[in-house]
Structure 1
Amino acid sequence: MKTYDLRSDTVTLPSPAMRKAMHDAEVGDDVYADDPTVNRLQEMAADITGTAAALFVSSGSMGNLIPVYLNCGRGNELLIDSRGHIVQHELASCTAIAGAMPVTIPTEKGILDVSLLEGRIQPDIYYCQHTRMVELENTHNAAGGTFYPLAVLRGIAAFARRRKLTVHLDGARLFNASIASGASVKDISACADTVTFCLSKGLGCPVGAMLCGRRDFIAEARRVRKMLGGGMRQAGIIAAAGVYALQHNVQRLAEDHENARVIAAALAGTSWAALDPKDVATNIIYFDTPGRDAEDVVKALERAGIRCGASGLHTIRFVTHLDVSRKDAKQVAAIVGKLKLS
């Protein structure tokens, strides 16, 4: 029986062409900044985002932590959606390592806006910590792959400039956001001071993320990366996967969004899954299991050939990716439609 792995878009395997690119990669010592493949990847990332420079980091979590460490500072605050990845799934690193205090703001579908931010900035009183930073997640994982309209991002950017705040964009799935919103990656990135995007999610690489920003910021980020244990030597072997992905795996993300909608429509037709298919904005599907323990439903789905994960007592997440074809999505839909739960 074939198994369809929908636990995350991080489960993808390098394609033969990506493996060949990794095998053939020209390498050097990246701690000395002389790995030509890493340098090429960093130049590509900066060009794609419209920033001055970029840094190859080991993970999106590291790419999020470094801007907090440099731009927020110990004892200061960053404003973030209450379900943001930084506060939910990064082991409190912004506090434990960077010394910053996240101020969490409940949102509708993970989208912050100026009206939500305005009243959360600390007054300029000596016994209040300073508000230094706004963190945005685009697309938003826990909210179901939702994305920011460009007008909202531009409004936040203008607000942050007025209030002398830096903006960090956690763009783990930045390219999904671009395709779904119709806004270019450069236009989205222009709304932030620093941008992180993952190579190991929808782009299909085995490891890595990119941190993008001003040239002076990236120079300092390189120092912090080293401090965190992220300095790598002949890293071109893995950077080559990123080069290949940026050349070949971006536009096809639209297929993942379409496949998610196919599966969501099937789930909506069952008696054991509750969701509105119109809420599926990109490649992430969340659905509730009314009256049933989500873990029990996960086990039933796995027995039927679908791997997934519970995201709460009564919530399950599916994520489509490049290893799930349209044929696979239709097969998942068929399995879901036939599954009977007692």
Structure 2
Amino acid sequence: MIIDLRSDTVTKPSKDMLTAMMSAPVGDDVFREDPTVNELEDRLAKMFGKEKALFFPSGSMANQVAIKLHTNPSEQVICDKYAHIYNYEVGGVAFHSGVSCKLIDGKRGMFTAEQVKEAINPSEYYYSQTSLVEVENTTNKGGGACWDFQELEKIKQVCKTNNLGFHLDGARLWNAMVAKNETTLQYGNTFDTISVCLSKGLGCPVGSVLVGGEEIMKKSLSLRKLFGGNMRQIGYLAAAGLFALDNNIERLADDHKRAKEIGAALSKLSIIKKVEPIETNIVIFELNDGVDEAQFLNNLKEKNIHIIGMGSNKLRMVTHLDYTDQMHEKFLGILQTLAL
């Protein structure tokens, strides 16, 4: 039995999801004639109370197109120092949009409205113009932390006052909504654009969707083409998304429960210095100074357990759809032996 906790992206489609995919009616999406893609986009637009939605092959592409929709070259995006768009999208903000990032030193990937105010550049001509605020929910490097929705609404007011766009990288937004009992309409009312991932917690093989208002989304289709993201009969992938929306959202609570149980087990081990607070499905923990990270990872690998090392003796585990109760019981038992 292989237990893969590197990410919630490692899941494979279930038999029922595959059945839905293989029976999907399809067409040429470049001509906008794929009925299943159109259905998925219409459904997600309505869920978030937006006029438009567009399917993308990846969350990074959806985020990068959103940034380009909101900005002009030489302008600046405000985001957290932990933000995925800054750390894990290959400098795309600079390469694709010609903009820079103003990094906020937040807490676990989250910041306040006051910090946003302080980060907005002065209006003098020799400053880069601030044009967009970007947040990530849940925060990846922040250990799956969930934003306080009231703070997001305060940031929205700062954006409105200063004529700034407001984009949400919702790679794990479904996890946040389940954990905090929030709704898609709440987020749609707060953000100008939102990218939501289907291939992480929801178990789809591919895909993210960008939603937004009619005006801001006008150029999204041509930009997706420019980025090389237009595809043909992708209804097979969209069908996985429709299946996931019907079947795989509420069960995210199971992933959160297992993650917290893993965290509790880790906190009892003498080799562990610290376990970060766990709200959703990400567990980040730190080994004691005398413990070799590479050896720790190798010991787990020899037991067919795969996790990610983050450097500086920090490691990450992510629970997901394919991490079963049987795997969980076995893994908790193995953790107990690591105290030796």
Partner deviation per Cα, 1:283-316 (whole Å, 9 max, x = no partner)? 0000001122322211111112211110113111
The root-mean-square deviation of aligned C-alpha atoms, in Å, is: 1.2
The equivalent residue for 1:96 is 95
The equivalent residue for 1:285 is 283
Give the counterpart letter for 1:281 in structure 2. E
Distance 2:75 2:240 in 1: 37
In the alignment, does 2:12 pair up with 1:13? yes
Structure 1 alignment gaps of length 5 or more: none
C-alpha displacement at 1:338, in angstroms? 1.4
SS of aligned partner of 2:147: coil
SS of aligned partner of 2:284: strand
SS of aligned partner of 1:187: helix
Would you say the 8 A contact 2:283–2:318 is kept in 1? Answer: yes
The equivalent residue for 1:189 is 188
Give the counterpart letter for 2:280 in structure 1. T
Structure 2 alignment gaps of length 5 or more: none
In the alignment, does 2:312 pair up with 1:313? yes
Distance 1:124 1:239 in 2: 44
The equivalent residue for 2:134 is 135
The equivalent residue for 2:147 is 148
Would you say the 8 A contact 1:266–1:334 is kept in 2? Answer: no
Distance 1:315 1:81 in 2: 20
Distance 1:327 1:251 in 2: 20
Distance 2:47 2:297 in 1: 38
The equivalent residue for 1:123 is 122
Give the counterpart letter for 1:122 in structure 2. N
The equivalent residue for 1:217 is 216
Distance 1:48 1:326 in 2: 31
C-alpha displacement at 1:276, in angstroms? 3.9
Distance 1:295 1:276 in 2: 18
Distance 2:138 2:184 in 1: 12
Would you say the 8 A contact 1:148–1:181 is kept in 2? Answer: no
Distance 1:111 1:45 in 2: 26
SS of aligned partner of 2:123: coil
The equivalent residue for 2:113 is 114
Report the count of equivalent residues: 339
Give the counterpart letter for 2:100 in structure 1. M
Distance 1:90 1:189 in 2: 24
C-alpha displacement at 1:340, in angstroms? 4.6
Give the counterpart letter for 1:136 in structure 2. V
Which stretch of the first structure deviates more once superposed, 80-89 or 186-195?
A: 186-195
Q: 1:247 to 1:160 in 2, by over 3 A?
A: same
The equivalent residue for 2:333 is 334
Would you say the 8 A contact 1:68–1:98 is kept in 2? Answer: yes
SS of aligned partner of 2:326: helix
Would you say the 8 A contact 2:272–2:285 is kept in 1? Answer: yes
Counterparts in 2 of 1:188-337, with a 5 A limit? Answer: 188-276=187-275, 279-291=277-289, 292-337=291-336
Identity %: 37
Give the counterpart letter for 2:106 in structure 1. T
Would you say the 8 A contact 1:290–1:314 is kept in 2? Answer: yes
Would you say the 8 A contact 2:29–2:233 is kept in 1? Answer: yes
Give the counterpart letter for 1:288 in structure 2. E
Distance 1:323 1:224 in 2: 34
The equivalent residue for 1:74 is 73
Give the counterpart letter for 2:282 in structure 1. I
Would you say the 8 A contact 1:139–1:176 is kept in 2? Answer: yes
